[in-house]
Structures are given as structure tokens and as C-alpha cells.
Structure 1
């Protein structure tokens, strides 16, 4: 009962910002901003939702692009695809279909962190439905560190369903907001971000479970996807902070730059894991470069 009350408060305080459409029997929440320009899809990372981008980056890009921001399956207001953890390929296919239903045509796909893995899966499995990629602190390579106790417990077949309701019931939204400092380090969250992101949405039972299962499955999925990176022939702009300790530059971005012929890597000196907020001019410039390289706009035309 306490968990249900917490979820109800979160949903009342942070309702959907866009439209909820039905795609293949699944409800998908998407926000559309901007009236003209090339289409750009924004895909958020683990534990997040579309509000990560609607805080500031999406409105900024909407000055020159038509921007589509989605909640990934199981997070925000998009339904879970299954109860075993939607794969990055399943997520890419669902969001690709959702974008097409909302009118996007061969968009630029931008993904941050886990969302970067979904963007790469989109480029590999739906190459005719993407014009270019922009990858921000993207997970792209196998790694050797363990899953960690948090995701191990929450994704466990028996322990997860027992522990998650306790977290929903008793963990306060303010605790999640405090964790943002670690995610943004060595920078800090921008003003108003903590109030906008909707921490209570992340603490809902279904979202905690879906996120943990997706995270637990990611290593095996990336290991498989990595074998097909050479097939990616479209323009790729990759931005990665040199101070990112969540998704390491040397582990992920640098090998990817060698594996994808059209990948141009920009190293962001001193930047951590959240360049969409703390290096926003550089991110916007990368989207512009991707549009120009894809032939969506002539060089120098966009603001």
C-alpha cells in the first residue's frame, strides 16, 4: 500500500509531457518539439526517462530540428516489452516504429549511455531507418567489471520482487536526487534538473525491475552487437568525457572509433558522464555536424 501511494504521488507530480501512442500493442510515450528541420530522436540512459532531455537539450535542439524524445520500455510512461528485460534490439525496433508512427523519416538518432547502445542497435538492425548517429558517453564494448550488488539483487529472479517493493515504499525521492551528484561528477546537475527529472518515476516497482533486468542483460547483448559494428556505414559523431568514470572513454569510445569507419570521436576534456547537460554547446554542434554529414542540410545552413 505504501509503495502504491508513492507511485501515485510520483505520477500525479510528473505526468506524461507528450503523447502516449500504441505501437505493436505497447504503449509508448513520446514528446515532440520543433516545427521544422531534420528529425532527431533522443534516447535516454539507464534509470532515466524522457525528462532527462526535455529539461534543456530537447528545447535547444528544437530551434533547428524536429525533436522526438521517448521513454524507453519499462521507464517513464512506456510499457515494458516483456518481463525478462527488453533487449537493446527490441527497444530500438519499438522506438523506430514509434518514431515512424509520429512522422519521423530517417532521423538522426542520439543516445546517451545505455541509450547509446540502443542507438547502435538501431543502426545495425534498422540501417535504412536512420540517417546518422550521435553517441554521448555511449556503452558500446564488453567490459570486465561485475554487475554490482544493486543490479544483481534487483534483477534476481526471487530476491528482486521481494526487495523492490521495499525500495519503492521507503526510499525517498530526495535520496535519488542526491545520487545525481555522483552521476554528474566531476560536474554538478544544472539548476532545476532534480526537480524536473521526476525521481519518483524511477522508484516505481515496474521501472526498478525493468531497469535492473535491462542492465543485467546489457553485457551479453553488447558482446553480440559489437561483432556487427563494421556494418555501420552512416555518419557517427561520438562525444565522450575524459573524466567519465561510469562509461570509460578508453574502454568504450576509443575502440568504437576504430570499429566504425564513419565515427568521429570528440574527447571532452574534464567532462563526466552527462555531456547532454554540462557540454550542451558541444552536443548541439555534434548534432549539426551529423545533419550536415548525412546531407540533411547544407554546411553552414543551420543555427
Structure 2
């Protein structure tokens, strides 16, 4: 009995030590990469919004595990020359809180839940009709935005968007981090002891075959993505995404607004033949641009193509 009690005490002490180190890492991450924009409150939920520029409203929605700094690194300031750009941290990411119903149920926010929260934040900023650009997972939220309120959606720009059902399974790490056991064991360890090699591998894989842009790592704030709540929220959103895009894809044909789809032909994370190409046939007014030498991050590697797509959809929507 004494041996069991000693083992339990040691285990409990180790867990407490990991939690303290994780809390310290999270505090340091938030101090090093503070909010760049304003914090709005929507029904008690904090929403982080970066707003800059003037002109037609353009909403930016980032991908899985990211935050709005992905856009403010380079693309958003350029867009702000012609638009009022509103970049949001999606629920559970950056400095935006969780949707209470999802958090209480230990599940991820659906694209529609995310869209509803961010639309309420946009309305608080005076948005009535906006262009919406979504990248990767943000592409699914952009599609949900249009389905939730077509009148509020002047046009869509889907960049490497995860918008359609896909065959096969996700990486096991998503399911582990989404589970209650993983959320209380592995996730705190990753937060407390983030291996630099893992962080480098994550960024390199996302940008492949291009290199990570100089200065991006220092700006983006990957430690924000390694906070416990963010990793768990992201994993649960990703593991639940497929069922939601199955349901949403049956309604894409009802969307009449113009859409520009930009996708890298070399994207191995969100495959163009699974997502962009079928989506282009479902949307009544879509234009697809496949970039032969681009991977998953064309808004960094091929910014001119994305800027041109935004300009085209603005013109097609009658905003320019």
C-alpha cells in the first residue's frame, strides 16, 4: 500500500509540474505574441479582430491551428490599400474564445457555429455585406458564412479550402489530441516541452514545396498554437469537419454570389482534385485558378494570384 501511495504521489506531482510548466509557456507565448487588433465581446465570448484600411469590407478567415497573424504577416496590409480588411481569430484560436455549447460538450465548433459567432462580431463592426476569404479550414468556415447569411456575403475567395468530403482518415495525432485522455496527458506535455524540431517540421510541411518565408516564424507566433486549449479545440474541430462538409456540400449549389477558388496543384494537405475542382462545379458562379507550382500556402508564395482573385471577385460583386 505504501508503494502504491508513493507512486500515486509521484505521478500527481509530475502532472502538477507539467501543468505549471505548460501555464508558464502559455503565459510567455501570449506576452511575446499579444493581440494585434481589438477584442470584441459577443454574448460573453471574446473575439479578436484586426481591422485596417477603407473601402469594401473583406473578411479573412485563417486555417487550422493558425491565427490572424498568418494574414497580417504580409497579405492583409496589401489588401488594406483597397479594402477595409477584417481578419478574425477563429474560435479557440489566437485570442478568440470557444463557442460555449461546443466547449461544454467537449467537441469542436462546427463551421456554421464559427461563422455565426464571427458574423455577429462583423456586424458589431458595422459590416452589412462583405467579401469573405477563407484559407484551408477557413475555407469551410467561409462556405458556412455564405450558407448562414447569403445577403451578408458579397463574394467568396477560397484559398486551398477544405470544403468537400475526403476519402481516408486523418492523422492519428488529431484523434489523440481531441480525446479526453490526450487532452489531459499528451497535450500538456507538448505545451510544456515543445520540441523545436517538431515546430520546424510543422511549418516546413505546411509551406512545402516552398521554404518558410523569412521572418514568418518570428511574426506568426507558433507558441500560441501550442497552448493547451488551442490544440484541443483545433483537434476537435478538424476531427469533426468531415461530417459538416458532407452536410454543407449538398447546399453549395444554392449560393449565387461570385466565387474565386485558388489552389496549389502541389498541395498535399488539402488536395485540389478532392476539394477545389469539385467545389468549382457545385457553385453556380465560380472561377477556379490552379497554380502549377504552388503548395498549401499560395497567399504567401503566390500573393499576386490571391490579390488578383480578390480584385476579380470584388468587381464581379459590383463592389469596384
Matched, 1:40 2:63: no
Task: Find the counterpart in structure 2 of residue 261 from structure 1.
Answer: 284
1:173 deviation in Å? 5.5
Q: Which has the larger radius of gyration?
A: 2
Q: What is the deviation of 1:175?
A: 3.4
Q: Distance in 2 between matches of 1:174 and 1:192?
A: 18
**Given that residues 177 and 199 in structure 1 are in contact (C-alpha distance below 8 angstroms), is that contact kept between their aligned partners in structure 2?**
no
C-alpha displacement at 1:174, in angstroms? Answer: 6.2
Cα deviation per residue 1:18-65 (whole Å; 9 max; x = unaligned)? 00110122100000011x211100000001000000000000000111
Give the equivalent residue in structure 1 for 2:270: 247
- Post-superposition CA distance 1:160-218 (Å, at most 9, x none): 32211111111145632442111111111211001101011001000010000000100
Select which of 61, 64, 67 maps to 2:85. 67
The DSSP-based 3-state class of the residue aligned with 2:132 is strand
1:136-183 per-residue CA deviation (whole Å, 9 max, x = no partner) reads: 000111111212111010011333322111111111456324421111
Partner of 2:45: 26
RMSD: 1.0
Q: Is the 8 A contact 2:183 2:228 kept in 1?
A: no
1:300 is aligned to none
Query: Could you say what secondary structure the match of 1:250 adopts?
Result: coil
Number of equivalent positions: 296
Other structure's SS at 1:79 match: coil
TM-score of the two chains, using structure 2 as the length reference: 0.91
- SS of 1:118's equivalent? helix
Q: Are residues 178 and 195 of structure 1, via their aligned partners in 2, closer, same or farther at CA, if it must alter by over 3 Å?
A: farther
CA distance in 1: counterparts of 2:65 and 2:168, whole angstroms: 19
8 Å CA contact 2:61–2:133 kept in 1: the answer is yes
Residue in structure 1 matching 2:258, options 229, 235, 238: 235
2:152 alignment partner, one of 114, 129, 137: 129
Q: Identify the match of residue 198 of structure 1 among 198, 209, 221.
A: 221
Q: Aligned ranges for residues 83-94 of structure 1 at < 5 Å?
A: 83=103, 84-94=107-117
The match for 1:224 is: 247
Matches within 5 A, 1:1-303: 1-34=20-53, 36-81=54-99, 82-83=102-103, 84-172=107-195, 175-297=198-320
What secondary structure, in the 3-state scheme, does the structure 2 residue paired with 1:271 have? coil
Gaps of 5+ in 2: 1-19
Residue pair 2:208, 2:295 contacting (<8 A) in 1 also: yes
TM-score, with length taken from structure 1? 0.96
Is contact 1:173-1:199 (8 Å) kept?
Answer: no
Distance 2:231 2:192 in 1: 12
